[in-house]
Structure 1
Amino acid sequence: MKDKRIVIVTGGRLGDWTLPLIAPDDYIIGADAGALFLVRHGIRPDIALGDFDSVTAEEFEWIRRNSAETHAYDPVDKDYTDTELAWRLAVSKGPREIMMVGALGTRFDHTLANVHLLRFAAREGVPAVLADEHNRIRIASGELRLTNGGFAYISLLPLTETVTGITLTGFQYPLNEATIEIGQSIGISNKLLGEEGTIVLSEGLLLVIESRD
Protein backbone atom coordinates (compact mmCIF):
# COMPACT_ATOMS: atom_id res chain seq x y z
CA MET A 1 0.00 0.00 0.00
CA LYS A 2 3.04 2.26 -0.45
CA ASP A 3 1.29 4.26 -3.18
CA LYS A 4 -1.93 4.76 -1.21
CA ARG A 5 -3.03 7.40 1.24
CA ILE A 6 -5.11 6.12 4.14
CA VAL A 7 -7.80 8.43 5.50
CA ILE A 8 -9.14 7.69 8.97
CA VAL A 9 -12.47 9.26 9.87
CA THR A 10 -13.04 9.06 13.59
CA GLY A 11 -15.89 10.24 15.78
CA GLY A 12 -14.79 13.68 16.93
CA ARG A 13 -15.87 16.95 15.32
CA LEU A 14 -16.92 16.38 11.71
CA GLY A 15 -18.88 18.41 9.18
CA ASP A 16 -19.37 19.27 5.54
CA TRP A 17 -15.73 20.47 5.47
CA THR A 18 -14.67 16.83 5.92
CA LEU A 19 -15.90 15.58 2.55
CA PRO A 20 -13.56 17.55 0.23
CA LEU A 21 -10.58 16.19 2.17
CA ILE A 22 -11.34 12.63 1.00
CA ALA A 23 -10.13 11.70 -2.49
CA PRO A 24 -11.70 8.95 -4.66
CA ASP A 25 -8.59 6.75 -4.53
CA ASP A 26 -8.05 6.97 -0.75
CA TYR A 27 -8.18 3.85 1.38
CA ILE A 28 -10.77 4.76 4.04
CA ILE A 29 -11.05 3.56 7.63
CA GLY A 30 -14.08 4.61 9.67
CA ALA A 31 -13.69 4.44 13.45
CA ASP A 32 -16.91 4.06 15.46
CA ALA A 33 -19.14 7.12 14.82
CA GLY A 34 -16.76 8.16 12.06
CA ALA A 35 -17.93 5.13 10.08
CA LEU A 36 -21.53 6.27 10.54
CA PHE A 37 -20.63 9.72 9.24
CA LEU A 38 -19.14 8.13 6.12
CA VAL A 39 -22.08 5.89 5.25
CA ARG A 40 -24.52 8.74 5.91
CA HIS A 41 -22.68 10.69 3.21
CA GLY A 42 -22.59 7.85 0.72
CA ILE A 43 -18.92 6.93 1.28
CA ARG A 44 -18.13 3.23 1.66
CA PRO A 45 -15.36 2.55 4.22
CA ASP A 46 -12.81 -0.07 3.28
CA ILE A 47 -12.79 -0.95 6.98
CA ALA A 48 -15.18 0.09 9.75
CA LEU A 49 -13.92 -0.67 13.25
CA GLY A 50 -14.44 0.05 16.93
CA ASP A 51 -16.63 -0.96 19.82
CA PHE A 52 -19.47 1.05 18.21
CA ASP A 53 -20.75 2.23 21.58
CA SER A 54 -21.52 5.61 19.99
CA VAL A 55 -24.10 4.21 17.55
CA THR A 56 -27.38 2.34 17.92
CA ALA A 57 -27.84 -1.30 16.95
CA GLU A 58 -29.68 -0.18 13.81
CA GLU A 59 -26.91 2.25 12.89
CA PHE A 60 -24.29 -0.46 13.43
CA GLU A 61 -26.15 -2.76 11.06
CA TRP A 62 -26.26 0.06 8.51
CA ILE A 63 -22.50 0.53 8.89
CA ARG A 64 -21.89 -3.21 8.53
CA ARG A 65 -23.95 -3.45 5.33
CA ASN A 66 -22.22 -0.45 3.76
CA SER A 67 -18.58 -1.23 4.62
CA ALA A 68 -16.23 -3.57 2.80
CA GLU A 69 -15.07 -4.99 6.17
CA THR A 70 -16.28 -4.49 9.74
CA HIS A 71 -14.17 -5.20 12.83
CA ALA A 72 -16.18 -4.99 16.07
CA TYR A 73 -14.41 -4.95 19.45
CA ASP A 74 -15.66 -5.50 22.98
CA PRO A 75 -15.92 -2.07 24.65
CA VAL A 76 -14.31 -3.36 27.87
CA ASP A 77 -11.82 -5.97 26.65
CA LYS A 78 -9.68 -3.70 24.49
CA ASP A 79 -6.48 -1.81 25.30
CA TYR A 80 -6.79 1.13 22.89
CA THR A 81 -9.33 3.75 21.93
CA ASP A 82 -11.16 3.16 18.66
CA THR A 83 -9.06 5.94 17.13
CA GLU A 84 -5.79 4.31 18.17
CA LEU A 85 -7.00 0.93 16.86
CA ALA A 86 -7.62 2.56 13.48
CA TRP A 87 -4.28 4.39 13.61
CA ARG A 88 -2.28 1.26 14.43
CA LEU A 89 -4.01 -0.63 11.63
CA ALA A 90 -3.27 2.17 9.17
CA VAL A 91 0.42 2.37 10.16
CA SER A 92 0.79 -1.42 9.83
CA LYS A 93 -0.23 -1.17 6.18
CA GLY A 94 2.77 1.04 5.36
CA PRO A 95 0.90 3.67 3.30
CA ARG A 96 2.28 6.69 1.49
CA GLU A 97 0.58 8.92 4.08
CA ILE A 98 -2.09 8.83 6.77
CA MET A 99 -4.59 11.62 7.25
CA MET A 100 -7.01 11.53 10.15
CA VAL A 101 -10.09 13.72 10.47
CA GLY A 102 -12.48 13.89 13.41
CA ALA A 103 -9.54 13.59 15.80
CA LEU A 104 -9.76 17.19 17.08
CA GLY A 105 -12.87 17.92 19.10
CA THR A 106 -14.32 19.04 22.40
CA ARG A 107 -12.63 16.30 24.45
CA PHE A 108 -9.14 17.69 25.03
CA ASP A 109 -7.90 14.39 26.50
CA HIS A 110 -8.81 12.59 23.27
CA THR A 111 -7.42 15.43 21.16
CA LEU A 112 -4.07 15.35 22.95
CA ALA A 113 -3.88 11.56 22.77
CA ASN A 114 -4.55 11.76 19.03
CA VAL A 115 -1.80 14.34 18.54
CA HIS A 116 0.57 11.95 20.30
CA LEU A 117 -0.32 9.27 17.74
CA LEU A 118 1.72 11.28 15.25
CA ARG A 119 4.80 10.21 17.20
CA PHE A 120 3.90 6.55 16.73
CA ALA A 121 3.62 7.04 12.97
CA ALA A 122 6.90 8.99 12.84
CA ARG A 123 8.69 6.17 14.64
CA GLU A 124 7.49 3.78 11.94
CA GLY A 125 8.52 6.15 9.15
CA VAL A 126 4.97 6.88 7.96
CA PRO A 127 4.11 10.53 7.12
CA ALA A 128 0.92 11.50 8.93
CA VAL A 129 -1.33 14.50 9.50
CA LEU A 130 -4.35 15.37 11.62
CA ALA A 131 -6.78 17.69 9.86
CA ASP A 132 -9.90 19.70 10.49
CA GLU A 133 -11.37 22.86 8.97
CA HIS A 134 -8.92 25.09 10.86
CA ASN A 135 -5.74 23.03 11.32
CA ARG A 136 -3.23 20.64 9.80
CA ILE A 137 -0.94 19.05 12.39
CA ARG A 138 2.11 16.93 11.60
CA ILE A 139 5.58 16.12 12.93
CA ALA A 140 8.94 17.30 11.68
CA SER A 141 11.81 14.91 12.32
CA GLY A 142 14.95 15.62 10.33
CA GLU A 143 13.50 17.62 7.44
CA LEU A 144 10.01 18.68 6.40
CA ARG A 145 9.08 20.65 3.29
CA LEU A 146 5.83 22.63 3.45
CA THR A 147 3.79 24.06 0.60
CA ASN A 148 1.34 26.91 1.06
CA GLY A 149 -2.05 25.35 1.84
CA GLY A 150 -3.89 28.60 2.49
CA PHE A 151 -3.26 28.63 6.24
CA ALA A 152 -2.48 31.96 7.88
CA TYR A 153 -0.10 30.66 10.52
CA ILE A 154 2.49 27.95 11.05
CA SER A 155 3.46 27.19 14.65
CA LEU A 156 6.31 24.98 15.82
CA LEU A 157 6.05 23.29 19.22
CA PRO A 158 8.43 20.68 20.66
CA LEU A 159 6.97 17.23 21.22
CA THR A 160 10.19 16.10 22.90
CA GLU A 161 11.82 17.89 25.84
CA THR A 162 14.26 19.70 23.57
CA VAL A 163 14.50 20.15 19.80
CA THR A 164 17.89 21.26 18.52
CA GLY A 165 19.39 22.52 15.28
CA ILE A 166 16.17 24.07 13.97
CA THR A 167 16.72 25.92 10.70
CA LEU A 168 13.83 27.53 8.82
CA THR A 169 13.99 28.73 5.23
CA GLY A 170 11.17 30.48 3.40
CA PHE A 171 9.57 31.74 6.64
CA GLN A 172 8.81 35.27 7.78
CA TYR A 173 10.75 34.64 10.99
CA PRO A 174 13.76 32.47 10.10
CA LEU A 175 15.75 30.38 12.56
CA ASN A 176 19.29 29.10 12.21
CA GLU A 177 20.46 26.14 14.32
CA ALA A 178 18.02 27.18 17.06
CA THR A 179 17.01 25.18 20.12
CA ILE A 180 13.46 25.16 21.49
CA GLU A 181 12.55 23.53 24.78
CA ILE A 182 9.11 22.19 25.58
CA GLY A 183 6.98 24.98 27.06
CA GLN A 184 8.60 27.78 25.04
CA SER A 185 6.37 29.75 22.67
CA ILE A 186 9.01 31.21 20.34
CA GLY A 187 7.69 29.05 17.48
CA ILE A 188 4.09 30.32 17.59
CA SER A 189 2.45 32.07 14.61
CA ASN A 190 5.16 32.06 11.97
CA LYS A 191 4.27 32.44 8.27
CA LEU A 192 5.52 31.32 4.88
CA LEU A 193 6.93 34.10 2.70
CA GLY A 194 5.93 32.37 -0.53
CA GLU A 195 4.66 29.03 -1.74
CA GLU A 196 7.17 26.82 0.02
CA GLY A 197 9.24 26.57 3.17
CA THR A 198 11.60 24.05 4.73
CA ILE A 199 12.12 22.97 8.33
CA VAL A 200 15.37 21.17 9.17
CA LEU A 201 16.30 19.99 12.65
CA SER A 202 19.11 17.97 14.17
CA GLU A 203 17.47 16.19 17.08
CA GLY A 204 14.00 15.83 18.58
CA LEU A 205 10.43 15.93 17.33
CA LEU A 206 8.67 19.15 16.40
CA LEU A 207 4.91 19.58 16.04
CA VAL A 208 4.16 21.65 12.95
CA ILE A 209 0.69 23.21 13.16
CA GLU A 210 -0.75 25.04 10.17
CA SER A 211 -3.82 26.96 11.28
CA ARG A 212 -6.36 29.63 10.43
CA ASP A 213 -9.07 31.33 12.48
Structure 2
Amino acid sequence: MTGLIASAASVSDAEAAWGGRLAASAAGGSHAIVLLVLNYRLPHAAAALWHHSVLRICADGGANRLYDQAPCWLGVSEPEADAARGAFVPDVIKGDLDSLRPEVREFYERRGARVVDLAADQDTTDLQKCLTCASRMIAADPARFGDAHILALGALGGRLDHTLANLNTLHRHDGAPLALMGEGNLVRLLRAGRSELPVDRRLLGPACGLVALGQPATASSSGLRWNLDSTRLEMGGLQSTSNLVDAELVVVDTDAPLLWTIEMRDEAPPPDAC
Protein backbone atom coordinates (compact mmCIF):
# COMPACT_ATOMS: atom_id res chain seq x y z
CA MET A 1 0.00 0.00 0.00
CA THR A 2 1.50 3.31 -1.03
CA GLY A 3 2.19 5.89 1.64
CA LEU A 4 1.57 3.30 4.36
CA ILE A 5 1.36 4.83 7.80
CA ALA A 6 3.15 2.86 10.49
CA SER A 7 1.17 1.47 13.38
CA ALA A 8 0.95 3.40 16.61
CA ALA A 9 3.57 1.05 18.04
CA SER A 10 6.12 2.33 15.54
CA VAL A 11 6.79 5.52 17.45
CA SER A 12 6.08 6.34 21.06
CA ASP A 13 3.15 8.53 22.05
CA ALA A 14 5.66 11.20 23.07
CA GLU A 15 7.34 11.09 19.65
CA ALA A 16 3.97 11.20 17.87
CA ALA A 17 2.88 14.25 19.88
CA TRP A 18 6.27 15.88 19.32
CA GLY A 19 5.97 15.25 15.59
CA GLY A 20 2.54 16.86 15.52
CA ARG A 21 3.79 19.97 17.29
CA LEU A 22 6.81 20.17 15.00
CA ALA A 23 4.64 19.77 11.89
CA ALA A 24 2.47 22.65 13.07
CA SER A 25 5.56 24.75 13.82
CA ALA A 26 7.12 24.02 10.43
CA ALA A 27 3.91 24.92 8.62
CA GLY A 28 3.12 27.93 10.78
CA GLY A 29 -0.18 26.42 11.92
CA SER A 30 -2.52 23.48 11.38
CA HIS A 31 -2.03 22.73 7.69
CA ALA A 32 -1.73 19.52 5.70
CA ILE A 33 1.93 18.58 5.30
CA VAL A 34 3.56 17.31 2.11
CA LEU A 35 6.98 15.75 2.78
CA LEU A 36 9.84 15.80 0.29
CA VAL A 37 12.76 13.50 1.18
CA LEU A 38 16.11 14.59 -0.29
CA ASN A 39 19.40 12.74 -0.62
CA TYR A 40 21.15 13.86 2.55
CA ARG A 41 21.10 12.75 6.17
CA LEU A 42 17.49 12.98 7.31
CA PRO A 43 16.72 14.90 10.50
CA HIS A 44 15.68 13.16 13.70
CA ALA A 45 12.19 14.53 13.16
CA ALA A 46 11.59 12.58 9.94
CA ALA A 47 10.00 9.47 11.47
CA ALA A 48 7.49 11.41 13.54
CA LEU A 49 6.74 13.91 10.78
CA TRP A 50 5.99 11.05 8.39
CA HIS A 51 2.81 10.21 10.31
CA HIS A 52 1.58 13.81 10.11
CA SER A 53 1.93 14.12 6.34
CA VAL A 54 -0.65 13.49 3.61
CA LEU A 55 1.80 13.00 0.72
CA ARG A 56 5.41 11.77 0.66
CA ILE A 57 7.74 12.20 -2.31
CA CYS A 58 11.36 11.02 -2.42
CA ALA A 59 13.85 12.84 -4.60
CA ASP A 60 15.92 10.12 -6.29
CA GLY A 61 18.60 9.11 -3.75
CA GLY A 62 16.36 10.34 -0.94
CA ALA A 63 14.71 6.93 -1.26
CA ASN A 64 18.06 5.33 -0.36
CA ARG A 65 18.21 7.49 2.77
CA LEU A 66 14.69 6.49 3.74
CA TYR A 67 15.42 2.80 3.12
CA ASP A 68 18.65 2.89 5.15
CA GLN A 69 17.40 4.95 8.10
CA ALA A 70 13.89 3.50 8.64
CA PRO A 71 15.04 0.41 10.61
CA CYS A 72 17.07 2.61 12.93
CA TRP A 73 14.10 4.92 13.51
CA LEU A 74 12.10 1.98 14.82
CA GLY A 75 15.03 0.42 16.66
CA VAL A 76 15.02 -2.88 14.79
CA SER A 77 17.85 -5.02 13.44
CA GLU A 78 18.25 -6.62 10.02
CA PRO A 79 15.86 -9.59 10.43
CA GLU A 80 12.98 -7.13 10.92
CA ALA A 81 14.42 -4.35 8.78
CA ASP A 82 12.09 -4.83 5.82
CA ALA A 83 9.04 -4.62 8.06
CA ALA A 84 10.31 -1.28 9.35
CA ARG A 85 11.01 -0.07 5.83
CA GLY A 86 7.51 -1.11 4.83
CA ALA A 87 6.12 1.34 7.37
CA PHE A 88 7.67 4.24 5.42
CA VAL A 89 6.73 3.73 1.77
CA PRO A 90 6.72 6.94 -0.30
CA ASP A 91 3.91 7.74 -2.70
CA VAL A 92 6.32 8.85 -5.44
CA ILE A 93 10.06 8.60 -6.17
CA LYS A 94 11.03 11.22 -8.71
CA GLY A 95 14.25 12.52 -10.25
CA ASP A 96 16.89 11.62 -12.79
CA LEU A 97 17.37 8.34 -10.86
CA ASP A 98 21.16 8.44 -11.11
CA SER A 99 21.47 7.77 -7.37
CA LEU A 100 18.57 5.39 -6.68
CA ARG A 101 19.89 1.91 -5.88
CA PRO A 102 18.24 -0.95 -7.81
CA GLU A 103 17.26 -2.92 -4.70
CA VAL A 104 15.69 0.19 -3.17
CA ARG A 105 13.68 0.89 -6.31
CA GLU A 106 12.48 -2.71 -6.44
CA PHE A 107 11.52 -2.71 -2.75
CA TYR A 108 9.36 0.40 -2.97
CA GLU A 109 7.85 -0.39 -6.37
CA ARG A 110 6.68 -3.77 -5.05
CA ARG A 111 4.89 -1.89 -2.27
CA GLY A 112 3.12 0.55 -4.56
CA ALA A 113 5.45 3.52 -4.86
CA ARG A 114 5.32 5.23 -8.25
CA VAL A 115 8.78 5.83 -9.77
CA VAL A 116 9.06 8.69 -12.29
CA ASP A 117 12.24 8.86 -14.38
CA LEU A 118 13.12 12.42 -15.44
CA ALA A 119 16.68 11.72 -16.58
CA ALA A 120 16.03 13.73 -19.75
CA ASP A 121 15.63 16.89 -17.66
CA GLN A 122 19.09 18.02 -16.56
CA ASP A 123 18.16 21.69 -16.13
CA THR A 124 16.35 21.34 -12.81
CA THR A 125 17.43 19.88 -9.48
CA ASP A 126 15.74 16.88 -7.89
CA LEU A 127 14.15 19.26 -5.37
CA GLN A 128 12.64 21.30 -8.20
CA LYS A 129 11.36 18.14 -9.88
CA CYS A 130 9.69 17.02 -6.66
CA LEU A 131 8.20 20.46 -6.06
CA THR A 132 6.66 20.40 -9.52
CA CYS A 133 5.19 16.97 -8.80
CA ALA A 134 3.85 18.04 -5.40
CA SER A 135 2.38 21.28 -6.74
CA ARG A 136 0.51 19.45 -9.51
CA MET A 137 -0.88 16.86 -7.10
CA ILE A 138 -1.99 19.56 -4.65
CA ALA A 139 -3.72 21.52 -7.42
CA ALA A 140 -5.43 18.39 -8.75
CA ASP A 141 -6.99 17.40 -5.41
CA PRO A 142 -7.83 20.47 -3.29
CA ALA A 143 -10.30 18.48 -1.21
CA ARG A 144 -7.46 16.25 0.03
CA PHE A 145 -4.64 18.75 0.31
CA GLY A 146 -6.40 22.06 0.98
CA ASP A 147 -3.87 24.70 2.00
CA ALA A 148 -1.02 22.20 2.22
CA HIS A 149 2.49 23.26 3.20
CA ILE A 150 5.57 21.53 1.76
CA LEU A 151 8.44 20.45 4.00
CA ALA A 152 11.72 19.30 2.41
CA LEU A 153 13.78 17.01 4.66
CA GLY A 154 17.53 16.64 4.23
CA ALA A 155 17.64 19.98 2.42
CA LEU A 156 20.41 21.56 4.51
CA GLY A 157 23.95 20.37 5.15
CA GLY A 158 26.49 18.37 3.17
CA ARG A 159 27.76 19.85 -0.08
CA LEU A 160 27.55 23.63 -0.04
CA ASP A 161 26.52 23.80 -3.71
CA HIS A 162 23.54 21.54 -2.97
CA THR A 163 22.50 23.69 -0.01
CA LEU A 164 22.83 26.87 -2.09
CA ALA A 165 20.80 25.26 -4.88
CA ASN A 166 18.05 24.44 -2.38
CA LEU A 167 18.05 28.00 -1.02
CA ASN A 168 17.86 29.25 -4.60
CA THR A 169 14.86 26.98 -5.20
CA LEU A 170 13.27 28.40 -2.06
CA HIS A 171 13.50 31.85 -3.66
CA ARG A 172 12.20 30.65 -7.04
CA HIS A 173 9.29 28.59 -5.74
CA ASP A 174 5.91 30.30 -6.02
CA GLY A 175 3.53 27.45 -5.16
CA ALA A 176 2.40 26.07 -1.81
CA PRO A 177 4.41 27.42 1.15
CA LEU A 178 7.78 25.66 1.41
CA ALA A 179 10.18 25.11 4.31
CA LEU A 180 13.59 23.40 4.32
CA MET A 181 14.74 21.21 7.21
CA GLY A 182 18.06 19.58 7.99
CA GLU A 183 21.09 19.56 10.27
CA GLY A 184 19.08 20.98 13.17
CA ASN A 185 17.69 23.93 11.22
CA LEU A 186 14.37 25.03 9.75
CA VAL A 187 14.40 27.65 6.96
CA ARG A 188 11.54 29.55 5.33
CA LEU A 189 11.45 32.44 2.89
CA LEU A 190 9.62 35.56 4.05
CA ARG A 191 8.17 37.49 1.14
CA ALA A 192 7.99 41.28 1.04
CA GLY A 193 5.41 42.57 3.51
CA ARG A 194 4.54 41.42 7.03
CA SER A 195 5.17 37.88 8.28
CA GLU A 196 3.90 36.62 11.63
CA LEU A 197 5.93 33.65 12.86
CA PRO A 198 4.56 31.67 15.83
CA VAL A 199 7.44 29.99 17.68
CA ASP A 200 6.85 26.92 19.85
CA ARG A 201 9.89 27.37 22.05
CA ARG A 202 9.66 23.76 23.25
CA LEU A 203 10.70 22.80 19.72
CA LEU A 204 12.42 25.74 18.05
CA GLY A 205 15.06 28.29 18.96
CA PRO A 206 16.41 30.21 20.61
CA ALA A 207 19.06 30.78 17.91
CA CYS A 208 17.67 32.29 14.73
CA GLY A 209 18.54 34.62 11.88
CA LEU A 210 17.20 36.86 9.13
CA VAL A 211 19.32 36.85 5.98
CA ALA A 212 18.97 38.79 2.74
CA LEU A 213 20.37 36.37 0.18
CA GLY A 214 18.89 37.35 -3.17
CA GLN A 215 18.81 41.14 -2.86
CA PRO A 216 19.16 43.82 -0.16
CA ALA A 217 16.20 44.22 2.19
CA THR A 218 15.15 46.82 4.72
CA ALA A 219 13.38 45.19 7.65
CA SER A 220 11.90 45.76 11.10
CA SER A 221 11.03 43.09 13.65
CA SER A 222 9.58 42.34 17.06
CA GLY A 223 10.01 39.28 19.26
CA LEU A 224 13.79 39.00 18.85
CA ARG A 225 16.57 39.72 21.33
CA TRP A 226 18.10 42.16 18.83
CA ASN A 227 15.24 43.58 16.80
CA LEU A 228 15.59 45.32 13.47
CA ASP A 229 14.41 48.89 13.04
CA SER A 230 14.28 49.77 9.35
CA THR A 231 17.63 47.99 9.15
CA ARG A 232 19.25 47.31 5.78
CA LEU A 233 20.37 43.69 5.36
CA GLU A 234 22.52 42.58 2.42
CA MET A 235 25.30 40.25 1.31
CA GLY A 236 28.59 42.02 1.89
CA GLY A 237 26.97 44.11 4.62
CA LEU A 238 24.94 43.55 7.78
CA GLN A 239 22.94 40.34 8.29
CA SER A 240 20.90 39.46 11.37
CA THR A 241 22.63 36.17 12.19
CA SER A 242 23.14 34.66 15.67
CA ASN A 243 19.98 36.38 16.88
CA LEU A 244 17.70 34.90 19.57
CA VAL A 245 13.94 34.41 19.83
CA ASP A 246 12.53 36.30 22.81
CA ALA A 247 8.77 35.76 22.37
CA GLU A 248 6.16 33.25 21.24
CA LEU A 249 5.47 35.38 18.16
CA VAL A 250 8.07 36.97 15.90
CA VAL A 251 6.84 39.64 13.49
CA VAL A 252 8.93 40.76 10.52
CA ASP A 253 8.21 43.60 8.10
CA THR A 254 10.45 43.65 5.04
CA ASP A 255 10.50 45.29 1.62
CA ALA A 256 12.24 42.31 -0.04
CA PRO A 257 12.53 38.56 0.54
CA LEU A 258 14.40 37.36 3.63
CA LEU A 259 15.47 33.92 4.79
CA TRP A 260 14.14 33.10 8.26
CA THR A 261 16.28 30.41 9.87
CA ILE A 262 15.74 28.92 13.31
CA GLU A 263 17.36 26.03 15.13
CA MET A 264 15.37 22.92 16.04
CA ARG A 265 15.40 21.30 19.46
CA ASP A 266 15.66 17.49 19.23
CA GLU A 267 13.43 16.67 22.19
CA ALA A 268 12.38 13.22 20.98
CA PRO A 269 15.00 11.97 18.51
CA PRO A 270 15.56 8.37 17.46
CA PRO A 271 18.87 6.77 18.52
CA ASP A 272 22.00 8.72 17.63
CA ALA A 273 23.05 5.94 15.23
CA CYS A 274 20.30 7.08 12.86
- TM-score bucket (shorter structure): 0.7 to 0.9
Change (3 A) 1:174 1:140: same
Q: 1:73 aligns with which of 100, 118, 139?
A: 118
Structure-to-structure mapping, 1:47-196, within 5 angstroms:
47-74=92-119, 77-92=121-136, 93-94=138-139, 96-121=148-173, 123-124=174-175, 126-141=176-191, 142-146=193-197, 147-148=199-200, 149-164=203-218, 166-196=219-249
TM-score (norm 1): 0.85
Whole-Å Cα distance in 2 between the matches of residues 18 and 100 of structure 1?
10
| Cα distance in 2 between the residues matched to 1:196 and 1:99 | 21
Counterpart residue identity of residue 128, structure 1: L
RMSD of aligned alpha carbons: 2.3
* CA–CA separation in structure 2 for the residues paired with 1:172 and 1:212: 18
Partner deviation per Cα, 1:6-47 (whole Å, 9 max, x = no partner): 110011122544222333443111111212333552212111
Secondary structure of 2:157's aligned partner: coil
Kindly, what percent of the aligned residue pairs are identical?
Answer: 28
The residue identity in structure 1 corresponding to 2:223 is G
| Structure with more helix by fraction | 2
Tell me the SS of whatever aligns to 1:70.
strand
Quote the residue 1:14 is aligned against: 42
Q: How many residues align?
A: 206
TM-score when normalising by structure 2: 0.68
Letter in 2 for 1:7: L
2:17 is matched with none
Local SS of the residue matching 2:204: coil
* Paired residues of 1:14 and 1:102 also in contact (CA < 8 A): yes
Equivalent position amino acid for 1:143 in 2:
R
Residue matched to 1:44 = 89
Task: State the SS of the aligned residue for 1:172.
Answer: coil
Gaps of 5+ in 2: 1-30, 71-86, 140-146, 266-274
From 49, 54, 58, the equivalent of 1:26 is: 54
